[in-house]
Amino acid sequence: AKGGKFLMGWMSNWEYANVVPTETWRSAMTVSREIKLIKSANSYRLAFSPIEELNAYKEVKFKEEKIEVSGELEIISSEQLDLTQAQIKFNISEVKDKSLSFKLSNSLGDELLFGFDPKDNNFYVDRRKSGKVNFENRYASKISTATRISSNPSLNGTILLDKTSIELFYDDGEMVMTEIFFPNAPFERLSLVSKNEIYILDYIEVNQLNFND
């Protein structure tokens, strides 16, 4: 976007940057993000979104509306789309008392959980069972959380998956979370999980991202 303000972040943490279970590289940069200044009731805030140019790399599309979630519901698998390079967009119209939980998993039992917990008003990423986690005591010892700022009853999000990283943009970029992970095999399934309640996900779209051309 001409005239925009952009940044890229480093996806790692000095607590474990030198001991991540990789051989020829040590972490990576985020996707380029456009920065916007937004005005709230009493202050200004920065919001972040993936650059529009990312749309040029979108290919295969999966889209569904009005999905009823009870228990665990598989949304898409690697037979339909490569989840190691994908963009996911979703919207849920009412999150006041609904625990929105996504799960990436594979046949080896690795799991990455992320979503929103209305009880604590927190977004979260849970890497405790995401694969290789024992290379440093502090790497996945606790669930990563971020307090939701928006009071909007609906919640939207954009999720970027790239091999061993996840970038989460919630509420039109008002809250952003980024995490790296090291599964023992690529994640093969994306599911929605509901523990004690039934909820409706209004919209979800999954696009393949192809950066090889």
Say whether pLDDT at 1 is over 70: no
CA nearest to 74, candidates 169, 204, 178: 204
Instruction: Report yes or no: 27 and 20 within 8 Å, Cβ to Cβ.
Output: yes
Instruction: Read off the tokens for 154.
Output: 């609906």
pLDDT tens figures, 110-152: 999 999 998 899 999 999 999 999 988 888 889 999 999 998 9
Over residues 173-191, the mean pLDDT reads: 96
Name residue 204's beta-bridge partners. 64, 90
Over residues 59-68, the mean pLDDT reads: 91
Report how far apart the first and last C-alpha atoms of the chain are (Å, whole number).
21
pLDDT tens figures, 29-57: 999 999 999 887 788 989 999 999 999 98
Strands 44-50 and 58-77: unpaired
Residue 135 CA neighbour count, 13 Å, CB half: 15
Neighbours of 165 (CB within 10 A): 19
Over residues 98-115, the mean pLDDT reads: 94
Query: Range with the lowest mean pLDDT among 17-21, 28-32, 146-150, 200-204?
Result: 17-21
* DSSP code, position 31: P
* DSSP code, position 55: G
Nearest 5°: phi and psi at 173? 85, 10
Instruction: Report yes or no: 133 and 19 within 8 Å, Cβ to Cβ.
Output: no
